[in-house]
């Protein structure tokens, strides 16, 4: 009965590879987000989708491509991974303007 | 633009001590204010929130009051426990359009027995 789930929890990969992180929410929310948390714990918004449409893209490199097949899912695909992409990525969801509920995070390590 | 400034950590306290974590913000309009908590190895959980000036959010013994005149939302708890050890994030959300959370840099709290 997890509200916001992410897979995988850990992802270790080589530079240059392409990888995806999946996110699903069962709260019936219409807005989903991806955040990046760096090694110093700083959290920054990457993308936001409302009803499967991209509404916020915070100057993220175009190697990052979010995809929302339906309101309950927001996946993050990353091409040509770089060392600087190593971070914890959090998915979140909300009803518009209401509090956000976060997933458990995906720790990405690029070697 | 919007920004949130938190005191730097770590904050180290003994069990039953009084806790204050300072948070000030800069925002256009009238934002909603939040405190989120991140326990080790976990995602963020909403701790408390306030949506307008002079509102007090409270949960699990933690409190914070939305002070418009000082643009602050300081987190307090009268008696901390070891289980409160975590990273605490102050955040704001503007109430116009599709808003997202702007976070402070987080403050680590370490409580020893």
| Residues in chain B within 8 Å Cβ distance of A4 | 43
Give per-residue pLDDT as tens, A71-80: 999 999 999 9
Comparing C-alpha atoms, which of B89, B90, B63, B56 is closest to residue B77? B63
pLDDT at A1 over 70: no
Residue of B nearest to A51 (CA): B98
**Dist CA A71 CA A20 (whole Å):** 18
Q: Which helix (H) or strand (E) holds B57?
A: strand B56-59
Chain A residues 9-68 with CB within 8 Å of chain B: 31, 33, 40-45, 48, 50, 55-56
pLDDT at A4 over 80: yes
Give per-residue pLDDT as tens, B23-53: 999 998 889 999 999 998 888 999 999 999 9
pLDDT at B95 over 70: no
- Per-residue pLDDT, B92: 92
- Per-residue pLDDT, A54: 85
H helix intervals, chain A: none
pLDDT at B97 over 80: no
- Per-residue pLDDT, B78: 96
| Residues in chain A within 8 Å Cβ distance of B103 | 42-44
Q: Considering only the C-alpha atoms of chain B, give the largest distance between any 2 of them, rounded to a whole number of Å.
A: 46
Place of tokens 């709260």: A27
Over residues B1-6, mean pLDDT:
91
pLDDT at A96 over 70: no
Over residues A83-97, mean pLDDT:
90
Comparing C-alpha atoms, which of B55, B8, B89 is closest to residue A90? B89
* Nearest Cβ partner for B100 among A48, A103, A105: A48
Give per-residue pLDDT as tens, A5-54: 999 999 999 999 999 999 999 999 989 999 999 988 889 999 888 888 88
Residue pair B109/B19 in contact (Cβ under 8 Å)? The answer is yes
- Per-residue pLDDT, A41: 86
Which tokens in the block code for residue B78?
A: 């009268």
Q: Are B100 and A45 a contacting pair at CB < 8 A?
A: yes
pLDDT at A107 over 80: yes
Give per-residue pLDDT as tens, B60-88: 999 999 999 999 999 999 999 999 999 99
């Amino acid at each position: 009965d997890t509200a916001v789930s992410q897979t995988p929890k850990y992802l270790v990969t080589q530079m240059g590879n392409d990888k995806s992180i999946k996110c699903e929410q069962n709260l019936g929310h219409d807005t989903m987000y991806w955040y990046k948390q760096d090694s110093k714990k700083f959290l920054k918004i990457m993308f936001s989708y409302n009803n499967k449409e991209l509404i916020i893209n915070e100057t993220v490199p175009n190697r990052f491509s979010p995809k929302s097949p339906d309101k309950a899912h927001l996946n993050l695909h990353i091409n040509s991974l770089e060392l600087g992409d190593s971070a914890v990525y959090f998915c979140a969801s909300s009803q518009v303007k209401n509090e956000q509920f976060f997933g458990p995070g995906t720790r990405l390590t690029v070697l | 633009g919007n920004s949130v400034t938190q005191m730097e950590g770590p904050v180290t306290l003994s069990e039953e001590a009084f806790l204050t974590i300072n948070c000030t913000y800069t925002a256009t309009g009238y934002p909603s204010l939040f405190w989120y908590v991140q326990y080790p190895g976990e995602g963020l959980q909403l701790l408390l929130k306030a949506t307008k000036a002079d509102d007090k959010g409270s949960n699990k013994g933690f409190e914070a009051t939305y002070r418009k005149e000082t643009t602050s939302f300081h987190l307090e708890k009268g008696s901390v426990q070891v289980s409160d050890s975590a990273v605490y994030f102050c955040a704001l959300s503007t109430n116009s359009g599709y808003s997202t959370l702007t976070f402070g840099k987080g403050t680590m709290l370490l409580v020893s027995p």
